[in-house]
Chains A and B, each alone.
Chain A
Amino acid sequence: MSERPLITAVSVPRLPRHIKLRFDEMRQHWVLLAPERVLLPDEIAVEILLRCDGSATIGSIAKTLAEKFQAPHEEVERDVIELLQDLADKGTVAA
């Protein structure tokens, strides 16, 4: 990787092979396992991460979530981009 990945509405985010999102039965919480890090994503982050499947664009993820939570599309899209840019900068999300 030689450039910073920039997340925009047309980006297609995915979790790299070495990043694992799974539900931990013991803690009853989703966990994101990354190299030498364990993240406990909040409810909204989980909704977003579960849709980072390498085929949906940010725009379509935002559309789905805006409908699900009955929130303005632009606002949701801005939040999705902000979260995924932060994770992309840490190497946790690829796009």
Chain B
Amino acid sequence: MSAPAPPLALLAELTHRCPLQCPYCSNPLELERAASEIDTETWCRVLDEAAALGVLQVHFSGGEPTVRRDLEVLISHAAGLGLYTNLITAGVLIDERRMAALVAAGLDHVQLSIQDHEADNADRIGGYRGGHARKLEVCRMVRSAGLPLTINAVVHRQNLKNLAAIVDLAVMLGAARLEVAHVQYYGWALRNRAALMPTRGQLVQATETVNAARSRLMGILTIDYVVPDYYARLPKACMGGWGRRFLNVSPAGKVLPCHAAETITRLTFESVLERPLAAIWAESAAFEAFRGTDWMPDPCRSCERREIDWGGCRCQAFALTGQTDAVDPACGLSPAHHALVAIAEEESAAPPPRFAYRRIGKSRRHRGGPSPRPSERRPN
């Protein structure tokens, strides 16, 4: 096999620590603690290696990246390498002084998450009182600093009815982009699936709201829309294909093809502490496992969309079927697809269970929470 094309972007997950506790967090259930985080010097080396490998953009993420006091050092280092720097943040820890420091470091763009359009429900979902008001203030700081702003809104059955108001809020905050992302179910989100899954009717209405807003706000607000897998007929082209465009470095230095990849417990991921990034990208077994189309089962390998959706999402396939190379159940051609739709319909029709909030050290399943079906139970 020839050497893979260089990655376009690095997702730098600086930490799993976060003051918010969103029940749809895509971080793994077993969160890394502060003591296992790689240090500033190692991150700077990772950035050097990423730039040399061909990476053009760095997304500083987490957890909440601003809990790292060396964030400015890393942004400055990345900017010095000519990398486009993006901060993916909950915002709540940023004050005027920190914002000025981030701008001075050379930050190019901020993506800030909101949980709803109004404080009561937003703070309930995020598990952080006062968070929403704080976020609005930070958005103002971002725009006063002259930085472009993207608002990220993860939507689900407990905030979807407010989608139009969320769009209006993004415009009012001066965002040029809005990501309306239906929950993707792995990590904490899979644990909380029944509390988050919308009905098909809610989904249809949301899509209509987005389409109407897109034409009304042409040239004012760009809306990226991530649709929920469970009601889809075609799988998403997750990460633009495994090991094709993105690489992710976890807080502990593990190099992953996507931020949820550690949920695939059968794969072993190499660390930046052990091997250069370029070698891991080109040669590691985890990256090679689902790169391209050779690994695909039927009907994927003969599907005319095999180089469009690249076999969908491996994390989801494994979480729901226990097989790493199974057809993504989001695909209508998967034998597990009908069961998936049935789960979505059943869970969304029942009253939502309580959230299992994302907390470090609280990964064990709560009693009385939604239990896995036999078909989706993970192998030990």
Contacts and interface: CB of A to CB of B under 8 A. Distances in A.
Contacts of B220: 1-4
Interface in A1-40: 1-5, 16-18, 20, 22, 24, 26-27, 31, 33, 35-36, 38
Given A4-B219, A36-B111, A31 B56 contact: yes
Interface stretch (A49-57, A59-67, A70-78, A86-94): A86-94
B9 interface: yes
A9 B147 CA distance: 29
Interface in B8-61: 8-9, 54, 56-57, 59
A45 B287 CA distance: 34
Contacts of B176: 1, 35, 91
Given A1-B220, A18-B148, A38-B8, A27 B54 contact: yes
Given A4-B218, A33-B84, A38 B9 contact: yes
A2 B84 CA distance: 26
A35 B150 contact: yes
Contacts of A5: 219
Most buried by B among A1, A3, A4, A5: A1
A32 to B, nearest CB: 10
B6 A27 contact: yes
Contacts of B56: 24, 31, 33, 38
Interface string B131-172: 000000000000000111010000000000000000000000
B358 to A, nearest CB: 23
B109 A88 contact: no
Nearest to B51: A26
A36 B86 CA distance: 7
B222 interface: yes
A5 B220 CA distance: 8
Given A4-B220, A5-B219, A26 B148 contact: no
A: contact size bracket: 20 to 34
B108 interface: yes
Interface of B: 6, 8-9, 54, 56-57, 59, 82, 84, 86, 108-109, 111, 146-148, 150, 174, 176-177, 218-220, 222
Nearest to B177: A35
A36 B176 CA distance: 12
B54 A26 contact: yes
Given A17-B146, A33-B57, A36-B109, A3 B219 contact: yes
A27 B54 CA distance: 8
A16 B108 CA distance: 11
8 contacts: A1-B219, A3-B220, A18-B108, A20-B108, A24-B56, A35-B86, A36-B150, A91-B222
Contacts of B82: 22
Contacts of A90: 222
Nearest to A85: B219
Given A26-B54, A27-B54, A33-B57, A18 B219 contact: no
A89 B219 contact: yes
A42 B148 CA distance: 25
A78 B174 CA distance: 31
Q: Give 6 closest A-B pairs by Cβ, nearest first.
A: A4-B219, A35-B109, A33-B84, A91-B176, A26-B54, A89-B219
Nearest to A5: B219
B281 to A, nearest CB: 13
B57 A38 contact: yes
Given A18-B108, A38-B8, 10 more contacts: A1-B219, A18-B148, A22-B82, A24-B54, A33-B56, A33-B84, A33-B108, A35-B108, A35-B177, A36-B150
